[in-house]
Amino acid sequence: MAFIDWVLHPTELWAAFWYVMRHAPPDEKTPKLQVSGDMKRCYDFLEMTSRSFAAVIQELHPKLRDAICLFYLILRGLDTIEDDMTIPGAKKRSLLENFHEIIYQDGWTFKESGPDEKDALLLVDFDVVIAEFKRLPTGYQVIIADITKNMGFGMAKYTRARVESLEDYNEYCHYVAGLVGHGLSRLFSESGLEDKSVGEKLALANSMGLFLQKTNITRDINEDVLDGRCFWPKAIWSKFADTEDTLISKPNRDKSMNALNEMCTNALAHIPDVMEYLDQINEPTVFKFCAIPQTMAIATIALCFNNPKVLDTNVKIRKGEALKLISQSNNLDSVRRVFYRYLERIEAKNDPKDPMYGQVRKIVDKAKKDIANSLKGGAPVDHTAAYFAVALVIFAALVFFYQNSAAWI
């Protein structure tokens, strides 16, 4: 099956080839990441908790690399506590609300995570993260501690509150992801690599986080409901299902698809802010760090839109597709073309019978028009048909060679 995927998507195979070449084991011409001691252990934790983020963080400018690695690990520790359903409510809220002080406590560790928490080891050895955090420049520490405080209080609130209204939904996503955008933007400015204004336009930074978080929440509905929780706002799902469990039930599938498409539409509304945010980023490694998750998100939303499989399982974009997106996230024009391509896919899947048809069409048309107007040469041309034809020729040639190889030997 993987072989067929590569044949049917030759540009992804090419992207995978260059990714492997670029990330091959380093030789004398490719210097290794220069870290040692406890900071090396922090990068090991980074690899353990997120392979995808680990790669882009390690490619960041040296002025930012360690700070963002530690920022990620601190928030991952906070998130691990929030996700752990075995921690009693009162204790969990106390940990979340005080985590911004805990990160200054020498030697603090946590060994009470549930047996199914995949990142529990990070908390077991969290004293290593604390030690390195306290070595950061004070400006970085202040930003990270401030975001951790606000996020912890927000998470604590939603251990008791439920996501009912669209306002709740936006607030919850702000606490768990929008604040990450705030923190990163402030760190970019603090480093001097980006203009001071980047750390001040926090509404745009918030939208960057919300687009990612809403994409994940939309995709993860089956897994979340089976785990006994749901982050889809009741204001959306209650129009199409009596209970959260009904959302993923087969008999309710047609109605639940309407809810799914409304969730996708809600996420798509953030695209103008995403484009505006990326337009202000100048440092190449910072741009790529910001752009890669956004291109992954638009690809995921396009995959989820009008796709009943989302209600049955956790759908993911192909590995080759992800590698291609990484290679296309180097500059703003390329990112705009990626968004345009996936907006066209959403447009093709938009069903006139769906209640969100008109809203989706409005959002997609405007986003495509804005992108086309900002691109040199106008709207991108879709070469999918040509690539597919080439792939068929290659595949036919391989089959012919295989069938006739014995005669040639």
Just list the catalytic residues: 172, 219, 229, 289
Helix/strand number for the chain, H first, E second: 22, 0
The residue behind tokens 């998100």 is 297
What is d(CA 80, CA 72) in angstroms, rounded to the nearest whole number? 12
List of residues 6+ apart from 307 with CB closer than 8 A: 260, 315, 349
What is d(CA 305, CA 315) in angstroms, rounded to the nearest whole number? 11
N- to C-terminal Cα distance for the chain?
28
Burial category of 106 from C-beta neighbours within 10 Å (exposed 0-12, middle 13-18, buried 19 and up): exposed
Q: Cα–Cα distances in Å, from 133 out to 66, 76, 136, 139, 350?
A: 9, 14, 5, 12, 47
Nearest to 333 by CA among 292, 371, 290: 371
Burial category of 327 from C-beta neighbours within 10 Å (exposed 0-12, middle 13-18, buried 19 and up): middle
CA angle (327 as vertex; 30, 314 as ends), nearest 5: 115
What is d(CA 259, CA 247) in angstroms, rounded to the nearest whole number? 8
What is d(CA 354, CA 261) in angstroms, rounded to the nearest whole number? 8
Nearest to 131 by CA among 163, 166, 96, 106: 106
Question: Greatest CA span in the chain, whole angstroms?
Answer: 75
Please, are residues 128 and 38 in contact by the beta-carbon 8 Å criterion? yes
The residue behind tokens 């539409």 is 265
- Nearest 10 degrees: Cα torsion 361, 364, 369, 372: -140
What is d(CA 291, CA 297) in angstroms, rounded to the nearest whole number? 10
Secondary element (H or E) of residue 398: helix 384-408
The residue behind tokens 């400015």 is 189
Nearest to 347 by CA among 276, 291, 264: 264
